[in-house]
Amino acid sequence: LGGIMRGAPSMSSPRLASLTEKSGITLLERAGTMDGYDWFKIEFHGRIGYQWGGIMCSDQAISGVLQKCE
C-alpha cells in the first residue's frame, strides 16, 4: 500500500525511502510489533530497512500484515 521504509523498526526512525503502492519488497524477518501489526526488516531495490505491516498488503495472507492485496 506504500509507506516509508525506515532505518529501524520505529515511526520516529529516519526515512530511507518512500514506497509507492505495489512497490515490490522482500520480507526478510519480523522485527517487533506495534498496534497489533508487525514491523518487518525488508529489502527494496538493494537497500535494507524496515516497514510496518499496518500499512502493507501482500499477494498471500501473512500474519502481522494489514490485508491481502486485491
Q: What angle do CA 33, 57, 47 make, to 5 degrees?
A: 75
Predicted confidence at residue 10, as pLDDT, reads 94
**CB contact at 8 A, 44 and 35:** no
Tens of pLDDT, residues 8-63: 999 999 999 999 888 888 999 999 999 989 999 999 999 999 999 988 888 888 88
Give yes or no for residue 1 having a pLDDT over 70: no
Predicted confidence at residue 56, as pLDDT, reads 85
